[in-house]
Amino acid sequence: MVDLKTRGCLGAFNRDEPAKGHPLQAVPPSEIDPVPQSDEEANILYEHRLQLALYSMALEAIEAKKPAAEQRRILPPALLLGANGRMVQLSQGAFEQAKEDLRAHLNWRASVHLNPHMEEPPRLPSGAETCRQCPFYRGDLRRCGPEGEPLGFIHQMDDEP
């Protein structure tokens, strides 16, 4: 499973001088090793690992319903980075860990939702950087966030897809 990410393809992208462009442009497209070659590549792969795990687990479930002879093996997922044209892939170990983390997170979320006696965790202090990376904070529907910030539908202009 490969997902295209366009981060770094807008304002910071520099077609003529990649070294002066977005940090993802630091690794040239001629580098074909799917292992992340920079902190920026590793960070974007880590940031999207649970999304990649979810998509891959759906594919694994579909394949498991087929007769054994017709099943395809699902490889660790990858990102195609539009800013440098490279594909970066989770290692098998990172893929297994992402699936385990996703299962644990989904179980916890279901428990919080279904058990009226279970308290939700406290919100972090205002301005907490951790929240900016959390999928429950980002996007149009904010389900969690630092103290004092509104929850629910949020109109947000995001210049970094």
How do residues 77-130 score in pLDDT, each as one tens digit? 999 999 999 999 999 999 999 999 999 989 988 887 788 788 777 888 887 788
Question: Domain for residue 47, yes or no?
Answer: yes
What is the reported pLDDT for 155? 64
- Count of domains in the chain? 2
Look at the pTM and tell me if it is higher than 0.85.
no
The verdict on 103 and 134 lying in the same domain is no
Q: Is the CB of residue 13 less than 8 Å from the CB of residue 22?
A: yes
- Please state, for a pLDDT cut of 90, what percent of the chain lies above it: 60
The verdict on 95 and 22 lying in the same domain is yes
Q: Is the CB of residue 117 less than 8 Å from the CB of residue 124?
A: no
Distances 32 to 35, 42, 49, 109, 141 between C-alpha atoms, Å: 9, 15, 20, 38, 37
The verdict on 112 and 130 lying in the same domain is no
The verdict on 7 and 32 lying in the same domain is yes
Per the structure, the complete domain to which residue 151 belongs is given by 123-155
Choose among 89, 99, 104: nearest CA to 53. Answer: 99
Q: How high does pLDDT run on average in the chain?
A: 89
Choose among 88, 1, 92: nearest CA to 44. Answer: 88
The verdict on 89 and 11 lying in the same domain is yes
